[in-house]
């Protein structure tokens, strides 16, 4: 298991008990995402955590493949699905780097609070592009620490070294937009409720 997977595995139970930071904002993100959905949709989520978002969207699409690098996160997610009687979500342990999904087979990809945790966000965005059908959507939510906490570049690695926080990449909203645009995506909607909060982006692969 990688250091990152070990970190997330260790905190998975605690993470699953933590309420979302702002329920109103979370519900608004679910609502915006749901407006893109239709009952025949094939959805992939990477960095799915304990599966709450995938399970919330499940009744609105055909199938969701929800993946995460942490086996414990996926175990908790499977337990939640069983308790809720939801059977159209498959939870699979996989890093986004190792995720293998057929080209142009997916209508919507979710990557929520994850792009800043990856060594190479551009590679992940290209992977999303490849799996999406033309006209498909990539919905992401990403803290852009480069806009308000540049010093994190110095303090973050110390916290990471001591195992207190995960590896976090520092980049700006502009750099994130550029990553998406350079991959070919059109940004259809972007919402940043507050300066220090993540930016929620609906990006589309042109039809």
Q: According to CB under 6 A, which residues from 59 to 98 bind ligand SAM? A: 68-70, 73, 95-97
Burial of 29 (0-12, 13-18, 19+ CB in 10 A): buried
Beta carbon nearer to ligand SAM, 37 or 165: 165
Beta carbon nearer to ligand SAM, 119 or 135: 119
Give CA–CA dist 159/164, Å, rounded.
Answer: 5
Question: Coil, strand, or helix at residue 76?
Answer: helix
Judged by CB under 6 A, does residue 49 bind ligand SAM?
yes
Give CA–CA dist 62/146, Å, rounded.
Answer: 37
Q: According to CB under 6 A, which residues from 8 to 27 bind ligand SAM? A: 8
Give CA–CA dist 47/193, Å, rounded.
Answer: 22
Q: According to CB under 6 A, which residues from 93 to 152 bind ligand SAM? A: 95-97, 112-114, 117-118
Beta carbon nearer to ligand SAM, 72 or 205: 72
DSSP structure class, residue 116: G
Which residues in this chain contact ligand SAM in the complex, by CB under 6 A? Answer: 4, 8, 46-49, 68-70, 73, 95-97, 112-114, 117-118
């Amino acid at each position: 298991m990688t250091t990152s997977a070990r970190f997330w595995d260790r905190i998975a139970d605690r993470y699953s008990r933590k309420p979302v930071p702002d329920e109103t904002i979370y519900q608004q993100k679910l609502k915006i995402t749901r407006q893109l959905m239709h009952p025949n949709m094939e959805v992939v989520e990477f960095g799915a955590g304990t599966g709450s978002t995938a399970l919330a969207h499940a009744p609105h699409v055909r199938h969701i493949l929800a993946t995460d690098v942490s086996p414990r996160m996926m175990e908790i997610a499977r337990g939640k699905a069983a308790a809720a009687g939801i059977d159209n979500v498959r939870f699979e342990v996989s890093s986004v780097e190792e995720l293998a999904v057929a080209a142009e087979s997916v209508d919507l990809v979710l990557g929520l609070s994850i792009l800043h945790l990856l060594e190479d966000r551009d590679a992940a965005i290209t992977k999303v592009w490849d799996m999406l059908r033309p006209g498909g959507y990539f919905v992401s939510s990403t803290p852009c620490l480069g806009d308000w906490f540049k010093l994190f570049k110095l303090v973050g690695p110390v916290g990471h070294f001591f195992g207190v926080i995960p590896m976090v990449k520092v980049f700006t909203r502009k750099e994130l937009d550029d990553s998406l645009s350079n991959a070919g995506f059109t940004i259809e909607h972007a919402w940043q409720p507050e300066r220090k909060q993540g930016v929620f982006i609906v990006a589309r692969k042109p039809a």
